[in-house]
């Protein structure tokens, strides 16, 4: 469905941003694109939707080359940008203006998402707070039913209850023929939401792995003392004892802690990546 092969990208030839990026994304999955600030997550998503063009390599999305910006492609892809400015109009006017770009747009889904987020329906867009405006945009993006949905730092500016609502709205709206890519450096926000992790580091995707495969190979535990853990790879001091990521030698079942996993990969790449044949 989405295939990037040996993709290179730079804003300026002297400063490469993406180098030899290889990525295959399938329908019916929610991907978490993780990486530190400035690593190139937005640039990668903009390449996927045709707002930026690769300098070399190939990018095929839903059978199209995004850089050609065919209308048949654009109506199947929707990007929620990190920064935005809302036009001075009502929510209804916004929908009348922008929904026609997306033939599969669902007004019912849009209304449902607004309700979940508790958005005051009659307010004009500029009268809403930035967080509320973002919720309108999230609702719109999901209601497009585009086959590829790209969300750039969607939880920035949302308070804690809204982040929960965000997870609920996303989890309830994925269709079988749709892929959702959510980029964030606020890794915790994606806990129990995503199917697969993509980690961008050193200009390329260093890891693409399903959550189920991560918890098969690694265990996530709280322990009082590090001696209690067999094969620890990474640990952090916790309220009581330590939070530990260890090699899962005994096929233990544990719940993945996204932030711990990300920190573990960032600090112990040479121990973790070989577990995933990287």
Ligand X SMILES: Nc1ncnc2c1ncn2[C@@H]1O[C@H](COP(=O)(O)OP(=O)(O)OP(=O)(O)O)[C@@H](O)[C@H]1O
Stretch near ligand X under the rule CB under 6 A, chosen from 41-49, 157-165, 201-209, 270-278: 41-49
Residue 134 sits in the site that holds ligand X (CB under 6 A)? no
- CA-CA distance, 133 to 10, in Å (whole number)? 31
Residue 38 sits in the site that holds ligand X (CB under 6 A)? yes
Instruction: Supply 28's token pair.
Output: 């019916």
Instruction: Supply 17's token pair.
Output: 């941003």
Residue 11 sits in the site that holds ligand X (CB under 6 A)? yes
- CA-CA distance, 196 to 103, in Å (whole number)? 28
Stretch near ligand X under the rule CB under 6 A, chosen from 1-9, 34-42, 69-77, 90-98: 34-42
Residue 40 sits in the site that holds ligand X (CB under 6 A)? yes
- CA-CA distance, 119 to 143, in Å (whole number)? 15
Size of the site for ligand X (CB under 6 A): 13
Residue 181 sits in the site that holds ligand X (CB under 6 A)? no
- CA-CA distance, 49 to 198, in Å (whole number)? 17
Task: Please state the closest distance from residue 13 (CB atom) to ligand X, in A.
Answer: 12
Residue 41 sits in the site that holds ligand X (CB under 6 A)? yes
Residue 47 sits in the site that holds ligand X (CB under 6 A)? no
Cα 203 to the chain's mean position, in Å? 17
Site string for ligand X, 55-84 (x = CB under 6 A): ---------------------------x--
Beta pairing class for 179-184 and 29-34: parallel
Q: Which of 17, 61, 137, 170 binds ligand X (CB under 6 A)?
A: 17
Q: In this complex, which beta carbon is closest to ligand X, that of residue 153 or of residue 196?
A: 153
Instruction: Supply 34's token pair.
Output: 């993780």
For residue 148, what are the CA distances in angstroms to 81, 110, 115, 261, 278?
14, 17, 24, 26, 27
| Interaction residues for ligand X, span 138-157 (CB under 6 A) | 153
Is the distance from CB of 184 to CB of 33 less than 8 angstroms? yes
User: What is the helix (H) or strand (E) element at residue 158, kind and residue range?
Assistant: none
Residue 185 sits in the site that holds ligand X (CB under 6 A)? yes
The contact set with ligand X (CB under 6 A) reads 11, 17, 35, 37-43, 82, 153, 185
């Amino acid at each position: 469905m989405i295939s990037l092969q040996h993709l290179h990208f730079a804003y300026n030839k002297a400063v490469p941003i993406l180098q030899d990026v290889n990525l295959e994304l399938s329908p019916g999955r929610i991907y978490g694109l993780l990486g530190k600030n400035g690593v190139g997550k937005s640039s990668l998503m903009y390449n996927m939707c045709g707002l930026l063009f690769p300098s070399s390599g190939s990018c095929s999305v839903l059978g199209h080359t995004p850089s050609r910006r065919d209308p048949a492609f654009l109506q199947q892809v929707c990007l929620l940008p990190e920064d935005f400015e809302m036009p001075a109009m009502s929510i209804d006017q916004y929908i009348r203006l922008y929904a026609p770009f997306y033939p599969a747009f669902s007004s019912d889904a849009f209304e449902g998402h607004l309700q979940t987020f508790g958005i005051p329906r009659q307010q004009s867009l500029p009268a809403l707070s930035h967080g509320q405006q973002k919720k309108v945009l999230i609702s719109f993006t999901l209601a497009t039913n585009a086959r590829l949905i790209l969300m750039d730092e969607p939880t920035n500016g949302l308070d804690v209850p809204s982040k929960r609502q965000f997870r609920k709205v996303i989890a309830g709206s994925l269709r079988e023929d749709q892929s959702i890519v959510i980029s964030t450096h606020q890794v915790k926000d994606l806990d129990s939401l995503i199917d697969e992790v993509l980690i961008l580091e050193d200009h390329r995707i260093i890891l693409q792995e399903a959550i189920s495969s991560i918890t098969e190979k690694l265990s996530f535990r709280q322990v009082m003392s590090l001696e209690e853990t067999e094969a620890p790879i990474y640990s952090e001091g916790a309220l009581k004892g330590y939070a530990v990521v260890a090699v899962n030698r005994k096929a233990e079942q544990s719940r993945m802690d996204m932030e711990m996993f990300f920190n573990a990969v960032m600090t112990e790449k040479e121990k973790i990546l070989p577990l995933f044949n990287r």
